[in-house]
Amino acid sequence: MQKRSLGSLSVSVVGIGCNNFGARLDQEGTSSVVLSALDSGINFFDTADIYGATQSEVLLGKALGARRSEAVIASKFGMPIDDTHFGAKPAYVKQACEDSLRRLGTDYIDLYQLHYPDETTPIADTLGALHELVAEGKVREIGCSNLNPQQLKEAKEAAGSGPAFVSIQNQYSLLARDPEHDGVLDACEEHGLGFLPFYPLANGLLTGKYVPGQPIPEGTRLSLMSPERSAHWKSDALMARVGSLVQYADEVEIPLLTLAFSWLLARDQVSSVIAGASNADQVRANAAAATQLPTEVLAMLDILTD
């Protein structure tokens, strides 16, 4: 599988989102996904301390076992685990890292990411703690998630001559093209950041499983989501776009999954497309979905989803 640079890291263009680990998947299911990914050439695993009520990191670490050196582990801190474990103050950053290292069963995290901006803490203070973790060898590279262009600029300036963010992880897909319009992709170019899309398959709408006008398939993520959360994804506007994409995928005889992955990878700023998987078959399908689309197909996808 093709790899792209993310700071000093080399990551597969398809990554595994680990939000299912400890939630929908137990250790056996997690190990099946992780080992299938490694065997498919996928080396990038994106987790967070809050995933699976802190168990995602535990299950991922155990699944990798002796193959830890084959993997690039990305984890995150900052979102509330409970009433006392949250934020980006220096002392908490260091404690959160230690906790993640222990859960993962490793002595370093390849990419450690600020999960969400902490308005109560100057970014320079957070970066100071992250710089210490890099100097101690506990973290190789640092990144962020859910920041806007102004916050990225402030972070770049605050980093000074020390380690700076090498990545940003925001929502981006054929059904959510905000980074093109809000300046985040431009900021990636300006500051040398790799972009990591989350929800690249729009909570499953771009997998090809969903057909507008038909019931949501049982057992899928959307079918298990609470009504207040699923309302956006089941909206008439999004379903109309899905219908157009399904029809176009049939016309060009390219699976919608391939269109979704490869359209993102055609963006120079995108380093890896991170998607969850519940079983080995989904892992292999995701791995096979990364390809180079014809120029005319990319252009039509832009038109259909603009």
116 is catalytic: no
From the list 113, 105, 115, the residue with the least C-alpha distance to 57 is 105
51, 92, 172, 199: the catalytic one is 51
Task: List per-residue pLDDT tens for the chain, 306 residues long.
Answer: 999 999 999 999 999 999 999 999 999 999 999 999 999 999 999 999 999 999 999 999 999 999 999 999 999 999 999 999 999 999 999 999 999 999 999 999 999 999 999 999 999 999 999 999 999 999 999 999 999 999 999 999 999 999 999 999 999 999 999 999 999 999 999 999 999 999 999 999 999 887 777 777 776 777 777 877 778 888 888 999 999 999 999 999 999 999 999 999 999 999 999 999 999 999 999 999 999 999 999 999 999 998
Residue 269 and residue 185 in contact, taking contact as beta carbons nearer than 8 Å: yes
Q: What is the DSSP letter of 121?
A: S
> What is the Cα 203 distance to its own chain's centre?
12
Domains of the chain: 3-209+256-292 (3.20.20.100)
Q: What is the DSSP letter of 176?
A: B
